[in-house]
Chain A
């Protein structure tokens, strides 16, 4: 049955309309969970607010387990969904740069948008920075084009690379995430004794 659009069960224009609704849900959940404040987001790196860890990891394990069940029930054909391709060196450098941007700017692109609509000027400046960053990338692109496309492993999944089946990954992620949640509760208690404000 699913995925509906690649199977031709809904047309391209409806796909775009649905995208708006999906974005609506996503934006609502992001803002409602507290991702619209850079101080909340940075909290995971200093131990005073673990909302990023909790929401992010919960979403990942729910989606992983859910997808496997959907595949089993025949509602979803996992061979037809988009898997992010892997470009090894480029993505490694990208990840490090993004992490640095995270700790300096306190936002990621999606959360900055949710912060803009509730009136945060620093988020607006961050978004302007996004534009500038992509523009800079486009300007240096001719020089790094070779690097950008190197190490293309294709649309590989964890199973393709490690040979460990998806069920182990889903279970493993769940165990690690749940342990992290309990550990974060303990850490938060300790850190919040020293810091007065921790929810922004």
Chain B
């Protein structure tokens, strides 16, 4: 798996099917232990709630959305997902180090656009995702991946819609990638 040959061009990735099998097994283990599946966007939401609470505790508690997640005596960050995302960062860092992919900060962009343009669209994409994950009750990891594996109707529906919608708009935004 770990190949230290400098002759090889490009960066080395795990065989995707192997990665998929391992991920599937990981999901089974997760359910076996915790009765729930992986997720990401919930942790981001918890962070936003915590930030709102830190800025102005009274207003946050009274807020119709943030107030739902603020409980006395326990920080919203004290959640399964936040701890899991912490692990995600560490695991990804380790993988980046092993496969020699960690680099000084740079902007990765398609051949037809500039770095600046890439940053702008990344921001727009992020905002759309932030909004969308709340409506969709999860992101690709939480709703689509985990939801589908547990045979959830909503999970499969969200998964199909994400991919269908992206395919629908793909031609429109082809200049971003090719």
Contact = CB atoms under 8 A, between A and B. Distances in A.
A5 B35 contact: yes
B7 interface: no
The interface size bin for chain B is 35 or more
B17 A58 contact: yes
Nearest to B29: A22
Given A106-B177, A122-B107, A129-B130, A113 B154 contact: no
Interface residues of A, number: 128
Given A24-B90, A61-B24, A110-B140, A101 B148 contact: no
A94 B134 contact: yes
A70 B28 contact: yes
CB-based closest 3 A-B pairs:
A105-B125, A133-B130, A129-B126
B174 to A, nearest CB: 7
27 contacts: A4-B34, A31-B91, A42-B177, A60-B149, A81-B31, A83-B150, A85-B154, A90-B136, A92-B161, A94-B135, A97-B132, A98-B128, A98-B129, A99-B163, A100-B128, A102-B140, A103-B173, A107-B126, A109-B44, A112-B126, A113-B88, A114-B92, A119-B102, A124-B105, A125-B123, A133-B126, A158-B151
Nearest to B121: A104
Interface in B129-156: 129-156
Contact of A105 (B23, B84, B126, B143): B126
Nearest to B85: A23
- Interface of chain A, helix or strand or loop or mixed? helix
B48 A135 contact: yes
Given A33-B14, A67-B150, A157-B151, A76 B24 contact: no
Interface of A: 2-6, 10, 15-34, 36-39, 42-43, 45-46, 48, 50-51, 54-64, 66-67, 70, 75-76, 80-87, 90-110, 112-114, 116-138, 141-142, 145, 148, 153, 155-161, 166, 169, 173, 181, 195, 197, 199-200
A177 B112 CA distance: 32
